[in-house]
Amino acid sequence: MDSSLSSSAGSLTVIPGRARLLGDDINTDYIISSSRKKDSLDPDVLRRYLLEDLDPGFAGSVQDGDILVAGHNFGCGSAMEVAVTTVLAAGIRVVVARSFARTYWRNAVNNGLLLITAPTEDLCESVREGETVALHLLGASAELRVGADERRVIPCEPVPDIVLTIREAGGLVPYLRRHRKFSEPT
């Protein structure tokens, strides 16, 4: 759950979570197996299959609000939107990675999954599995704070305002229903 705090520079949004570490090149067929994609579109069913080919117990260990931390090229592979649906269905609202496949990034924006790029060379070495993390967003600025004391800070690339606005609406379709067009965030 996001919490907002006031700041002299604007509104600070803090998204706390627990780090779940993944490596490089996590493709969409790892996120949801090809054999499962056609079984169901029900998010309650899909969530059970998250990353089952990499770790059969992973989906059962996910807690609502966990944050995926990954290396290069997260979401590569097929452009199936179900890979984003599966992550969201598991209760994950944020993925922090060194880089993302463009089609996964677009599908994530469309569905309200926040992707944060942290170009830090040692991102996966800077965070331990299960460690407390908190994403701090202040306008477009983003940083991942690591540890219960949040002393370790990983700078992240800025997040475009339109991406944040679409996410706040719950995805592209809810955004367009509300606004009927794309407009510059106020």
Domain that holds residue 90: 3-179
Closest CA to 103 of 124, 123, 73: 73
Confidence grade of residue 136 (pLDDT, cut at 50, 70, 90): very high
User: Does residue 152 sit within a domain?
Assistant: yes
pLDDT tens readout for residues 38-54: 778 888 999 999 999 99
| 9 pLDDT more than 80 | no
**Has residue 25 been placed in a domain?**
yes
- Nearest in space to 94 (alpha carbons), one of 26, 14, 179: 14
CA distances from 1 to 49, 74, 132, 161, 177 (A): 23, 23, 14, 20, 24
**Residue 185 within a domain:** no
Helix (H, G, I), strand (E, B) or coil at 41: coil
Evaluate whether 99 touches 117 at the Cβ level (below 8 Å): yes
Q: Which helix (H) or strand (E) holds 61?
A: helix 58-61
Q: Is 186 within the bounds of a domain?
A: no
Rank 9-13, 39-43, 79-83 by mean pLDDT and report only the highest.
79-83
Q: What percent of the chain has pLDDT over 70?
A: 92
pLDDT at 74 (0 to 100): 97
**13's tokens:** 């949004």
- Within a domain: 88: yes
Q: Which of helix, strand or coil describes residue 151? A: coil
The CATH code of the domain that includes 74 is 3.20.19.10
Report pLDDT for 39: 77
The single-letter code of the amino acid at 82 is V
Mean pLDDT of the chain: 90
Answer for the pair 14, 135: CB distance below 8 angstroms, yes or no.
yes
Structural domain count, the chain = 1
